[in-house]
Amino acid sequence: MVQRIIERGEIESLDHTALPRFHLPQAATAVFTERASRLRDLADGKVAGIAFNPALSGYLELMSEVALAQADIAHSLSEENLAMPDQKSLDLALDHMMPPLTAQLKRPPIWRTILNDLIDKLLDNSKGERAELNAALTALSKQNEADLEDQANAVLAQRNEDVNPAHAPFIAAALQVLWTSRAAKLKPQEVPMLETFTLCPVCGSHPVASLIRIGGQSQGYRYLTCGMCATQWHMVRVKCVSCEKNGKISYQGLDPIDALEPAAAPVNKANDPRKYARAETCDDCHCYTKIFNQEHDYNAEPFADDLASLTLDILVSEAGYTRGNINPLLWFGETE
């Protein structure tokens, strides 16, 4: 199939009753507040569609705390802090079909201030408890500018071997605050159509998971969720998120015995929760991406739900598939 390139200026004339090609975050504070709430529900085992391992509760509770801190910090950022590109830069990105807020380029230095604010909030909340975590946060706060920038580059490039797994989630969280806040300030006509659907059209980062949305013109369509700026963009279903091939796509789920019964969650939160979470696997590249179906859980939050569904990762990994993209808030050290 040959992709037609949409010329600059043509985007504004598109039929706005047609399928939206992306959804920008409406407000960073709302993104993080809703994520925190979902993480709390997941930690409490209230989401029936996720085969949840209770051993993850502590981590999900911590990530809920991180998300609330992210919301507070995002609320405090000024227009000057966001360092939005000027019109010339936005026009250049449209002309060359490049993300207008490319995360991999030089970052506004305010992100390091955000990181320190995040660390301070988490240390204050710990009240002297969580000694191991506090030690990691304290060590992170003492790193110099060059080391922090190097680790941020590794996080964005998903180079697991070049980043401290104890530091990476918090570096990613700080970057998320800035990029989600900036993405929320963009106008739809400022976002170009990229030549690839595997990267975020706003910041060029990798997706963390897929979501089948409900409501309006997006009903029943699959959107990828950016792991950095929370933008969701359309990608046709039954197409690999890693290699973009569609000839050998399958869907893997947990056996019903591994999933919670529907009665374990409020009736209004799920239709059939056992159909909520799946892994889309590709036998061309042997990668997989999780796909969550909002038709079976209205309160779907791909980022949080991906963190909580490690049982599904284990299932497809044992079947010989490799995860296409990581979750920026969960890093594992190198194994022998």
- Whether 317 is covered by a domain: the verdict is yes
- Whether 9 is covered by a domain: the verdict is no
Q: Give the pLDDT confidence score for residue 17 in this predicted structure.
A: 55
- Whether 2 is covered by a domain: the verdict is no
Residue segments in the chain with a per-residue pLDDT below the cut of 70: 1-17, 255-271, 333-336
Q: Give the pLDDT confidence score for residue 14 in this predicted structure.
A: 44
Q: Which domain holds residue 227?
A: 20-336
- Whether 303 is covered by a domain: the verdict is yes
Q: Give the pLDDT confidence score for residue 255 in this predicted structure.
A: 57
Number of domains in the chain: 1
Q: Give the pLDDT confidence score for residue 247 in this predicted structure.
A: 87
**CATH number, domain with residue 249:** 3.90.1670.10
- Whether 331 is covered by a domain: the verdict is yes
Q: d(Cα 140, Cα 171) in Å, to the nearest integer?
A: 9
Q: Give the pLDDT confidence score for residue 81 in this predicted structure.
A: 94
- Whether 108 is covered by a domain: the verdict is yes
Q: Give the pLDDT confidence score for residue 53 in this predicted structure.
A: 84
- Burial status of residue 247 (CB atoms within 10 A of its CB: 0-12, 13-18, 19 or more): exposed
Q: d(Cα 253, Cα 259) in Å, to the nearest integer?
A: 10
Taking phi over 0 as left and psi of -120 to 50 as alpha, with beta for the rest, 130 belongs to left
Residues in the chain, how many?
Answer: 336
Instruction: Report the 10 Å Cβ neighbour count for 260.
Output: 19
| Burial 182-210, CB ≥16 within 10 A → b, else e | bbbebeeebbbbbeebbbbbbbbbbbbbb
Residue 215, Cα to own-chain centre: how many angstroms? 21
Q: Which residue has the tokens 């990267």?
A: 199
- Whether 6 is covered by a domain: the verdict is no
Residue 136, token pair as written in the block: 């990691």
- Whether 104 is covered by a domain: the verdict is yes
Amino acid at 301: E
Q: d(Cα 146, Cα 9) in Å, to the nearest integer?
A: 40
Instruction: Report the 10 Å Cβ neighbour count for 333.
Output: 10
Q: What is the pLDDT of residues 291-326, one digit of tens each?
A: 999 999 999 999 999 999 999 999 999 999 999 999
